[in-house]
Amino acid sequence: MKQNLASPNTSIHYTLFTPHALPMPKQVGKREGWERRTSRYPDQSIVDAILGICEYGARIGYEDSRTRVTIHPNLSSAEEDPSTVTAEIISELKKNRLELYPDYTSLRNQYTASPLGLTDKLDGSKHRIHHLSY
């Protein structure tokens, strides 16, 4: 008799989000839409995880040492148009969406900087990305 095993990647093995009171940026995954789409989904734990990620953002698993500063080099696309990258960083700083550190030594030991890059927009211009899954 063949045993019915669960499909891979369908079990939640760790906490996917952490509730908090911080304001979240606009997101692609809007909670209301996901509530409607998952209203009849049989596994409520999966639904709760999706809705929690929509509301609070996803935790990213990390299994290396957290005792040093890690700064990853930017993607090659950022080097193709550094003025666009710089302009978007200045814009974000003016909106208080980024924090400016005076120098490398002022970063805390667990600090990790993911690389920046550029991607194409529909109108043919470029948009800065922060490659968090690097």
Tens digits of per-residue pLDDT, 38-69?
999 988 988 999 899 888 888 876 666 667 88
Contact 69, 103 (CB under 8 A): no
Tens digits of per-residue pLDDT, 4-28?
455 556 678 788 888 888 777 665 5
**Nearest in space to 113 (alpha carbons), one of 83, 86, 75:** 75
CA-angle at 63, arms to 59 and 67, nearest 5°: 100
